[in-house]
Amino acid sequence: MKFILASNNAHKVEEITAMLGGKIELSTMRDAGLDMEIEENGTTFEENAMIKAMAVWNATKKPSIADDSGLEVDALGGAPGIYSARYAGEDATDAQRMAKLLGELEGVPDERRTARFVCCIACVIDENTSFTLRGTCEGVIGYEPRGQYGFGYDPLFIFPERGLTMSEILPGEKNEISHRADGCRKLHDELLRRGLID
């Protein structure tokens, strides 16, 4: 089955296709001839993912997929949440975002530094069929960045049972345990359940 991903990130297309075991054919918005900015004005990951998927479906009338992801820190009431990429300002670097997060968590003890990465995937099949799925990855926020892989908040996100940050885990392994991997497994199962893939 063919889908358009509400993104022009070719790497994300490859990653999601691989996570779905090659069961779908995924193209970028650019590949589909779309040149538009989609305003993400939702208040949840699910709303933002559906806004993007629906915009692509409305423009093409072809099945579409979108994802919206970020970091939720329990001690901060779920922040940065949907504002993960803009947490330290629109043009902030990963280092600036991590510095702001560490500043917000200053003095917060280990047991209250629990957090999760969230990836919500929205899928629009036709005018009557759409759904969202949530993938998560649980961990805790460390006290300093560690590791050479990954991006965003990965160097601060520790898997307690392994004592390693997301940035210290090899990319291939990350793709098996990440929030996006969890979301893609759920998407695969839902498409299978609906008879859209075999």
Q: Where are the alpha helices (DSSP H) in the chain?
A: 10-19, 45-60, 94-104, 171-177, 179-193
Long-range contacts of 34-40 (CB under 8 A, 24+ apart): 34/4, 34/59, 34/60, 38/6, 40/68, 40/82
68 is a catalytic site residue:
yes
* Helix-, strand-, coil-residue percentages of the chain, each rounded to 5: 40, 25, 35
Question: Pick from 10, 2, 11, 58: which is nearest to 30 by CA?
Answer: 10
How many alpha carbons lie under 13 Å from residue 171 in its C-beta half-sphere? 6
Annotated catalytic residue, options 35, 67, 68, 154: 68
* Residue 76 DSSP symbol: G
Instruction: Map tokens 């998407």 to a residue.
Output: 187
Instruction: Map tokens 């979108």 to a residue.
Output: 66
Contacts of 56 (CB under 8 A, 6+ apart): 4, 6, 29, 32, 34, 38, 62, 64, 66, 124
Q: Residues with catalytic annotation?
A: 68
